[in-house]
A and B are shown apart, each in its own frame.
Chain A
Amino acid sequence: MKAPRFAYIRPESLDEVLELLAEHGEEARILAGGQSLMPTLNMRLSRPRLLIDINRIEELKGISFEDGTVRIGALARHAEVMDSPVVAEHLPMIAEAMPHVAHVAIRNRGTFGGSIALADPAAELPACAVALGAEFVLASARGRRSVAARSFFNGLYETERGDDELLIETRIPAIEPGYRSSFMELARRHGDFALAGVCCHAKVDGNVLSDVRLAFFGSEDRPRFADAASAAAEGKAWSDDVKDAVKEALGGDLDPIGNFHASAATRLHLARVLTGRAIDRMVAAG
């Protein structure tokens, strides 16, 4: 199982990357952590002409906090995000999600940007980004733009990113006072992609929820923001009735895809159970 032939280039500057992308477009593939791209190459499921290795581009590295926003460089490794005090303090949901992402050796190489750009529907980080209202900064030879997480993911491995664009960073608003997050996922085995996963974020006052944001992964072909379920909890004191209403509403939000790991009905059921538990835990955390 050996990768097909391809050419390789390791630019030293961002501009060089953008020029190469402009020139080669879909013939080229960005190589970040390689933890998703390399398996598809080894399996010969993908056959790019050119790999553009971005691992030496300094601007893409690092995690920082400024003006209420956390900036996660596209090349920030999962392990770095997991151990980051900035993330622990300002993005507790992501800190909670990280241990569920793959395993140690993979986290040592896999990148935040790679996970977002890949857009695996069962991945944790895209859904966190959707729940937390993240913005993705894309750069190309044409210029830069910023896309809201909620309109970035278009389908299975499909995003708003153009073939000539590079994801350079993710900007996520830091958690504000009075807010809490909760993350839960169910996988067949620890570290596997999810059968169902929920990211909850809300202002919690006593047991009253507001600004409720629920996002789901492992269910549809992309991370899904659950408008109806979020609305069902909005302004409510958390109770069994509200829980039932949220679960009920979720049926209108989610249209899960079944496969051999679990059917659509099971995935919806699991998403409902997890949602109830995740909010229980979020409220109880006070």
Chain B
Amino acid sequence: MADPGGAVGRPLPRSGARRLAFGRGKYSDDLRFPGLLHLAFVRSPYAHARILGIDPAPALAAVPGARVITGAEIATVCKPWQGTMDHLPTMVSPPQHAVAVDRAVWQGEPVAAAVAASRAKAEDAANEVAVAWEPLPAAAVRDRTLDEDAALVHPELGSNLCFSTALGTGDSEAALDGATHVVEGRFSFARHSGIPLEMRTVIADYDPGEGTLTVHGSHQSPWHQQDTLSRHLGIPEHLVRVVAPDIGGGFGIKLHIYGDEIAVSAVSKILGRPVKYVVDRMEAFVSDVHARDQAVAARLGVDGDGRIRGLSVDALTSLGAYGSLGRPPISEGMMTIMMAAGAYANAHYDARLRVAFQNKPPSGMYRAVGQPIACAVAEQLLDWAAGAAGIDPVELRRRNYWTDDDYPLRTPGGLAINRLSPRRCLDKLVGMMGYESLRAEQADLRKAGIHRGIGVATFLEMTSVGPAYYGPSGAHISTQDGATVRLEPSGAVRCVTSVIELGQGTHAALAQIVADRLGVAANDVGVVGGDTATTPYGGGAWASRGLTIGGEAVWRAAGGLRANILELAGSILQADRADLDLAGGAVCDRATGEPRIALSEIGRIGHFRHDTLPPGIQPELAVTRHYVPDAAPFALANGVQGSSLEVDVETGEIRLLDHWVVEDCGRIVNPLLVEEQIRGGVVQGIGGALFEECRYDEDGQMLNASFADYLVPMAAGLPDIHVGHVETPIEETALGTKGAGEAGTVGAPAAIMLAVNDALRPLGARVTSLPITPESILEAIAAARAG
């Protein structure tokens, strides 16, 4: 669609960024509410314990005027929910209360709320609430929760197994038996979380007079919240309004329904007052959903010239105590087994997945769900196979990608693929890296005892998931998005979208789309969203869907408005609308481009001077459209990442030297936005590869629940990240975009792990546990020395 002079495709700065850079952002905690009360939670100090009693008296004595509300009281106004899915009848998940009622099942589970005039006072009160506990044995050692003697997280289930499944095609066992080289590994991916810098925040205001509930909060899916609040607090849906103002990052963490957040609304309903709750950083570590936490054993067989013969994957995901409402906790594992080696031609694949509960914070989705695991496991095996077969790893990839003639296809993991471009991405990446000279330099330095490593990993990124999955699940999660595009009297344009902006810049990209459809400049288009009462219904921000789904809705709505404007202009100008076009802020002659009437005139007449129009003309200067992806179950983006690093084999330190990404997210609406999504994603992937891990002891106590001890990447020590593009627009939508928000995170851990193992190759050492630490490198080297 993009006309060459248009806004789409150009690296326009985001208009919305200016406000934020001048300190004028309005995040949830910045908003002011008259009569506001503040809430702090009493959280379980034990991973598993029975609540014998809760005595609020000391709290009320310490903080006059405070209120303490227990889980049992909250349960009187808020129904429990269950994280089961209709289409997964074998997946179990017990009912969960917003706030624990008689048993706490993770350290950090809320058990009571204290409410007071300030946050400090609410904490003073919460600290004094006396809870009588009976500690119970906890299941907290990952990978051991399915053992016979493991403590049960939910005794009523009789087992910690949440779900298990198997899938595959062909006969991988026979294929592996017949392979020339078989490589295998046991991999481990730590438990971590998304750690948005702004913590989860909710302000709930129940108005007992009107019976309305208005919630402001830092949330990626206000619609899911609205639905849950309505159904579980028993408030008719049209009386529930959820507003998401500026959001300080989400990364999937703010997508879920949290008991503590719902409880804030319940407390507001009980008290009839606005109530605010801001998760603090230490609470965030034990209450935000956790992700990954997976062990994978895998085997790959190749023939003598490096062609894949078969692959076998066995994954165990260790969850927390619950999954989330409507968001199956098995996704981490499912994505792993569905997507492993998906870019490569292979006929024989088998995979098994088991998913088990632990006494840890609930599990949920974090940027790239399962895909970093799929990528790291398969790519590492391919590197080892290349080593075994004596083939350059890049060449081995080239030999194994599906060829253009293979598409469309269904992979052995069950992934329907219409088209991918890994070969083009790889060629471009190899050029950007100067792969050959890096290899030469690596060989030279090895002679000097310097251990450089190079990793090149191919990734797939599943984006913009459509209704085929969530529909049958029974979850009240919408996979469509909507938009209203309106011509204002001045000729400016307003777009009201269901797409949630959390910094990706999607709203700016939507403005570019509208601009091109209506022939105006992008900064003549205002975009607003984030309010369930005023915007079209949507799905929220997840699975990198904003532009592909929400953008298509905007494209259609703007197209509708375009038609209406031309229609109106036709009647004003007494011209055939087929001869008219929109450009330069005016209706112009399609053939000559000559402006005929300015959009401001159309706006003025259409809104104020109906008296001048011919009879029977009803200007429709606002158009609403929705779009649900109907032609494909998802949009699959792909790309290749490269890492160059140096390992100090005496200290185990890793120095990241350079990082490259070539990605194909279909049509690029704004490269500035795409590239920074990629870079930000890569750095989160580096976090997972080298730093991030929720450490627990055997009793289920988190050991590093603070920013001092849970390490995330910071500016020093990171490489520059070079980004290149291959653009293969998808055919299912007019825009042709795919998502790009997770690509960086999918491929970076693999590229880093491959590079580390490449550096360690001369020593015969291997690291297969993420995060890779100086200690784990030293241990791997020591183990290799010991033989």
Q: Do chains A and B touch in the complex (CB under 8 A)?
A: yes
- Confirm or deny: A109 has a beta carbon within 8 angstroms of a beta carbon on chain B: no
Complex contacts, B123 vs chain A, CB 8 Å? 1-2, 44
Stretch at the interface among A138-146, A230-238, A262-270: A262-270
- Confirm or deny: B214 has a beta carbon within 8 angstroms of a beta carbon on chain A: no
On whether the beta carbons of A195 and B774 are closer than 8 Å, the reply is yes
On whether the beta carbons of A270 and B711 are closer than 8 Å, the reply is no
- Confirm or deny: A156 has a beta carbon within 8 angstroms of a beta carbon on chain B: no
- Confirm or deny: A186 has a beta carbon within 8 angstroms of a beta carbon on chain B: yes
- Confirm or deny: B773 has a beta carbon within 8 angstroms of a beta carbon on chain A: yes
- Confirm or deny: A10 has a beta carbon within 8 angstroms of a beta carbon on chain B: no
Out of A4, A186, A260, name the residue touching B653 (CB < 8 Å): A186
Out of B124, B650, B651, B709, name the residue touching A5 (CB < 8 Å): B124
On whether the beta carbons of A189 and B651 are closer than 8 Å, the reply is no
Residue-wise, chain A 181-199 has the 8 Å CB interface mask toward B (1 for contact) of 0000010111110010000
- Confirm or deny: A88 has a beta carbon within 8 angstroms of a beta carbon on chain B: no
Complex contacts, B88 vs chain A, CB 8 Å? none
Out of B706, B717, B773, B778, name the residue touching A190 (CB < 8 Å): B717
On whether the beta carbons of B774 and A270 are closer than 8 Å, the reply is yes
CB-CB contacts below 8 Å: B621-653 with A: 650-653
Cβ distance A43 to chain B, nearest Cβ, rounded Å = 7
A: number of interface residues (CB 8 Å): 24
Cβ distance A123 to chain B, nearest Cβ, rounded Å = 13
- Confirm or deny: B769 has a beta carbon within 8 angstroms of a beta carbon on chain A: no
On whether the beta carbons of B717 and A4 are closer than 8 Å, the reply is no
Cβ distance B653 to chain A, nearest Cβ, rounded Å = 7
Complex contacts, B124 vs chain A, CB 8 Å? 4-5
- Confirm or deny: A9 has a beta carbon within 8 angstroms of a beta carbon on chain B: no
Cβ distance B159 to chain A, nearest Cβ, rounded Å = 30
Complex contacts, A195 vs chain B, CB 8 Å? 774
A273→B774 CA distance, assembly (Å): 13
Complex contacts, A190 vs chain B, CB 8 Å? 714, 716-717
Complex contacts, B280 vs chain A, CB 8 Å? 1
On whether the beta carbons of B691 and A189 are closer than 8 Å, the reply is yes
Out of A2, A188, A269, name the residue touching B711 (CB < 8 Å): A188
Residue-wise, chain B 700-729 has the 8 Å CB interface mask toward A (1 for contact) of 000110101101011011000000000000
A5→B118 CA distance, assembly (Å): 13
A1→B650 CA distance, assembly (Å): 41
CB-CB contacts below 8 Å: A165-212 with B: 186, 188-192, 195
Cβ distance A276 to chain B, nearest Cβ, rounded Å = 9
On whether the beta carbons of B711 and A266 are closer than 8 Å, the reply is no
A190→B713 CA distance, assembly (Å): 10
Complex contacts, B773 vs chain A, CB 8 Å? 188, 262
**Besides A4-B124, A44-B123, A190-B717, 20 other A-B contacts (C-beta < 8 A):** A1-B280, A1-B281, A1-B282, A3-B120, A186-B653, A186-B774, A189-B711, A189-B717, A190-B714, A192-B711, A195-B774, A260-B703, A260-B704, A260-B709, A262-B774, A263-B775, A269-B778, A270-B651, A270-B774, A273-B650
- 3 smallest A-B Cβ distances: which pairs? A1-B280, A2-B120, A190-B716
* 27 intermolecular pairs with C-beta atoms under 8 Å apart: A1-B123, A1-B281, A2-B119, A2-B123, A4-B127, A39-B708, A43-B282, A44-B123, A186-B651, A188-B691, A188-B773, A189-B711, A189-B714, A190-B714, A190-B716, A191-B716, A192-B711, A260-B695, A261-B709, A262-B774, A266-B652, A266-B774, A266-B778, A269-B778, A273-B650, A273-B651, A274-B651
